[in-house]
Amino acid sequence: MSDHRTTPRATARVTVPNDLGALQKVKEELLAAVTKHDYPEASAFAIRLALEEAVQNAYQHGNKGDPSRSVAFEWRIANSAITVVIEDEGTGFTPDVVPDPTDPERLEMPSGRGLLLMRAYMADVHYNDRGNRVTMVYQRPVN
């Protein structure tokens, strides 16, 4: 028997060119779906932030801004959680070796906070072995 809390109410899969305009449209589509499924404003804030960071990582660090490459998205929106998967065509990276940007000695470094923010706002953030596909899970807050 399916559980209404975890059964997806909306799913989507889309692959777009590594182009800022095309990526923006997908972000807007996902955020519209989040709002449509009665997630509160705070959830939309959290998902937007994590999504911005993940997409920027895919566009810039993974695909190196190359418009001939693509970014693949998949999302599942359920009552209790939202799962977003984003895959680029880069060589990948090892998230465990990213230095802690809150280290007092690194606080004045202008970059390196994206992953920290994704982890702070999502219940789970994990990468495939290659490091070019991120899966982010957001849990609906308990009232």
Partner 1 sequence: MTSTDSRLRIRKEDDVTYVEFVDRNILDEANIQRIADEITGLIDSDDMPKLIISFTNVDHLSSAALGALITIHNRTKQKQGQLRLADIDPQIYEVFTITKLNKLFEIHDTAQDAVASFA
Give the residues lining the site for partner 1 (CB under 8 A).
20, 42, 45, 48-49, 52-53, 56, 60, 101-102, 107-114, 116-117, 120
Of residues 51 and 82, the one with the C-beta less far from partner 1: 51
Quick one: which of 74, 80, 66, 6 has its CA closest to 38? 80
Of residues 52 and 66, the one with the C-beta less far from partner 1: 52
Of residues 56 and 70, the one with the C-beta less far from partner 1: 56
How far is the C-alpha of 79 from the C-alpha of 50, rounded, in Å? Answer: 19
Least Cβ distance, residue 140 to partner 1 (angstroms): 17
Least Cβ distance, residue 114 to partner 1 (angstroms): 5
Of residues 17 and 101, the one with the C-beta less far from partner 1: 101
